[in-house]
A and B are shown apart, each in its own frame.
Chain A
Amino acid sequence: MKLRVVALQSLIFTVEWGLMLLGFGLISVLIVPYAIFPETGSIYRFLNAGLKALFGLMLSLVWLFIWDRQVRAFFYSKE
């Protein structure tokens, strides 16, 4: 059993889990309740939905980037 790997991976998973909850919290408190465009027509509803999705996508990329840095730092630093 690779206990060092399990410990480091556990740390990575827990950090990523915490960041995920934080990110969804950010989205639900700061992004979802507000409309960037006035929701007077269907096109604006779609634009608002698209922009919010784009923000969620950007947060996901940041989340994956942090995951990537952690794995490389813990396991592939010699490379």
Chain B
Amino acid sequence: MDKVVALLLGAIGLPVSAVITRFLISWNSSHGIFGVDVHKTEKTIVPEMCGAAMAITLIVLAGVYSLVDPRYSLQLISFILVVGIAAIAGALDDFRRLGGMFKPLVGLLCGVPVSILGLMFPGQVYNPELGIPLFGGFRLPIIYPLIIPLAISVTANTVNMLDPLNGVMAGGIAIACAGLLIGLLLTAQSPTPIFLYALLLFVSLGFYIYNRYPSRAFSGNVGQLSLGAALGAAAILGRAEIATIVAIFPNIQNSFFFLSKIRRFTEHRRLTSKPTMLLPDGRLSSTPDRGAPLTLVRTIISAGPAVEYDIVKTVFLLYLLSSILGFLTLLLMGPFHL
């Protein structure tokens, strides 16, 4: 019964997120908050920072769930703090265009409430036992709280980095969370992970309605960072750390190859060598520039140019595969308690 309530409350995230996104499209348009869709030949103007709808929905529904089931209120408070800090940092970056190091550092800050609350209330926020598929697991009482800020910074920034085309971030994270949610419904003994992953899935889908190709709303850093940080927090609070890493393999590959080529934290807009270029016929092509980062999109079009919609479908197929692997990882871990 607990699991059904958690699932239903998470599903409310879809209409709430969609309604708030719709409102933000109008509000941001009337206040001049726009971005340019650089992958369209006509350079369409699209309302920016509408991803705030996801942050608001995540925070509000996590708050509602903490009232519905107060047993998990400490976990949900830490989740709310993570999303809140990430959203504020993302909004600041959207308005002020801060430096490349800002987001990784703020990502670290996002995880601090989880570590502190976990140390103050042992066993009530997270479990420092890392579940390992096939091999049981092992306790990491010293390392685990230190790794939490790093893990949340990684997920926040890796989600932030893979939103180059219409709908890729929201659709991709929704696919990743769908596989994990099915796995958790079969393995988790507590309703909290089910609620968190259902919430992430449906909130992403609600935003995806307006963000899908051709986009009527852009997420902005506010949405990307808060969704990524929320995913990291859900992985830690829901004890699905390894499965979540597997489910976001496309993000991991994109970030790793970006950083291994550029060798520093920097903003896409500050890159002198862009990984892709727009052809006059509207297709995207890989750049011949050897200094450009080897992003996931560039890898997909390395064999030849493609239209944006086809690239998005390819990325979704990759998310589907990694989501299935994430699901299998959870099955191999077996039933677990928080």
Contacts and interface: CB of A to CB of B under 8 A. Distances in A.
Do chains A and B stick together as partners? yes
Interface in B113-144: 132-138, 140, 142-143
A17 interface: yes
6 contacts: A1-B310, A10-B318, A17-B329, A20-B246, A75-B294, A75-B303
A24 B260 CA distance: 24
Q: Is the interface of A mostly helix, strand, loop or mixed?
A: helix
A14 B253 CA distance: 13
Contacts of B290: 79
Interface residues of B, number: 37
A13 B318 contact: yes
Interface in B227-257: 242, 245-246, 249, 253, 256-257
A20 B245 CA distance: 10
Interface string A47-79: 001001100000000001001100110011001
B60 to A, nearest CB: 35
Interface string A6-24: 1001101110110011001
Interface of A: 1-2, 4-6, 9-10, 12-14, 16-17, 20-21, 24-25, 27-29, 32, 45-46, 49, 52-53, 64, 67-68, 71-72, 75-76, 79
A32 B298 CA distance: 40
A25 B257 contact: no
B131 to A, nearest CB: 10
Given A13-B321, A25-B134, A45-B142, A2 B300 contact: yes
Contact of A71 (B294, B321, B332): B294
Given A13-B249, A17-B249, 9 more contacts: A1-B317, A9-B299, A10-B321, A13-B318, A14-B321, A28-B137, A68-B260, A76-B302, A79-B290
